[in-house]
Amino acid sequence: MSNIPPELKKTEINAEQREELDSAFAKARAALAIIETYDQARIDRLCQAVAWAVSNKKTFTRLVAEGIAESRLGDPDSRMGKRMKIRGILRDALRQKSVGIIEEIPEKGIVKYGKPAGVVACIVPTTNPDLTPAGNAIYGIKARDAVIFSPHPRAKKTSFETVRLMREALEKEGAPPDLLQCLTRVNIPMSQALMAEADLVIATGGQPMVRAAYSSGTPAYGVGAGNSTMIIDETANIEEAAMNTRLSKTSDFGSGCSADGNLIIQEGIFDAFLAQLVKEGGYIANDTEKAALRKAMWDDELHRLADTVAVAPQKLAEAAGFSIPADRKFIIVHGDAIGKGHPYSGEKLTTLLAVYKYGTFDEALNMMRGIYNVGGKGHSCGIYSFNQDHIHQLAMAAPVSRIMVRQPQSKANAGAFNNGMPMTSSLGCGTWGGNVISENVSLKHYMNTTWVSVPIKEDRPSDRELFGAFYDPAMEEGEFTAEDMTSAC
């Protein structure tokens, strides 16, 4: 029986879509019944098989080329690096248990058992038609789920091919290929129906789709919008910080929510840092070019224009009516005021960043707060500093779920081999970003967990310990009985 909420029934799917969806769920449920019988060793082997099927260099090179040709978005050189993310997700998955007993806490008398979540609906963004299916497939199979992918229409052929390769790998291992399926008749109503009928939703994409996921009536993990902002203080290694800025800003032509959007730079190093950004490939736009870029990137109501999203800086400049040298990798504008009416303080999603100058660190924090009031709360920020007090102050003040210290934001916040963040392609943004979690979506979010509790030695502090200075024995009449204690729940 469908559990589609009434508000989603206003856009019904057609008969062919209904037939495809019903068939996909029937196959997924049948595959679930089989994978639930597999032991940990076989599950781990399947994870390795599907990961290799997509992330080997020859195959991923082809998928990247197909994805960029199909969507007309992104940079082939930096997108190739995303295959390392698949390796990281596989590493994290293989190091955890998901079958039977997955954790024991003897001092608390707790034993935890891993159970499948069921059929997972995975919404695939246009900028990651290969990475997102692969990452979700690894975690889904590790949790013994079945996953049905809803690809972005602009990159659906690439996503379908990615899933086909993983299905082929499963079949070679004697596992049901229908553990992974990709819809073909995709549009918004089809995605809505998929989410409403699944057991769990992983929604990576634009805010309208994430909101639809939360409105589907199905438990969902979504992501918030980004507006990554980095503070560069006077203790920063200028060369390292500028290089990391370039790496983060240019990754896949700035298409990701984690790509650096704003730099807040201490005034004493401001000029030197800008000079270093130019050495890294930055182009500083003059006032005329800055005004032209604004018209090319936003309409009169300050809505972001799609044709300048995730494009090379030369193409971005061309759209604004000027040209820049072929060796330039990103464009820099001097930020004006910060606020809703100043779009440069918002998310760019392309090869452009804004720079701001600050005096005291309190000023930097106030500018950071202002930027996140424009957009991006809950997502990410970072700092280039060796001043532990500055790092602590930012951690206390920033309304974000993750802060990268001396790291390229878009290369680090979803997990890297030189930090401890869980590897993922989906970043929860907490209640700031309208999400249910403020952490990286990883294996535990694809599983149900059964807690088994056995009796332990009584752990009951005295009332004086519990209430401290508020405790007044004169206010207590009599003692708690054994019946009082057992009925406390």
Q: What span, in angstroms and rounded, lies between the C-alpha atoms of 144 and 360? A: 52
Q: How far apart are CA 154 and CA 157, in angstroms?
A: 8
The DSSP letter of residue 91 is H
Residue 330 near residue 246 (C-beta atoms within 8 A): yes
Nearest CA-CA partner of 384 in 355, 357, 412, 405: 405
Per the DSSP assignment, residues forming a β-bridge with 330 are 282
**182 is an active site residue:** no
H/E element holding 272? helix 270-279
Rounded Cα–Cα distance for residues 19 and 28 (Å): 14
- Report the alpha-carbon distance of residue 36 to residue 71 in Å, rounded: 37
β-strands 110-116, 447-453: how paired? antiparallel
Beta strands in 248-337 (DSSP E): 262-266, 282-284, 330-334
Output the 3-class SS for 298-319.
Answer: ECCCCCECHHHCCCCHHHHHHH
Instruction: Give the separation between CA 214 and CA 121, rounded to whole angstroms.
Output: 12
Q: Buried b / exposed e across 404-433, counting CB within 10 Å, b at 16+?
A: bbbbbbbbbbbbbeeeebbbbbbbbbbebb
* CB 147 within 8 Å of CB 136: yes
Strand 262-266 vs strand 282-284: parallel, antiparallel, or unpaired? unpaired
Q: Which helix (H) or strand (E) holds 294?
A: helix 287-297
Query: Half-sphere exposure of 28 toward its Cβ, with a 13 Å CA cutoff?
Result: 28
Q: In what order do the strands lie in the sheet with 447-453?
A: 100-105, 110-116, 447-453
Give the count of beta carbons closer than 10 Å to the beta carbon of residue 177: 18
Helix axes 388-397, 361-374, angle to 10 degrees: 30
Q: Do residues 67 and 129 touch, judged by C-beta distance below 8 A?
A: yes
From 122, 182, 257, 429, active-site residue: 257
Phi, psi at residue 179, to the nearest 5°?
Answer: -65, -25
Q: Which residues are the active-site residues?
A: 257
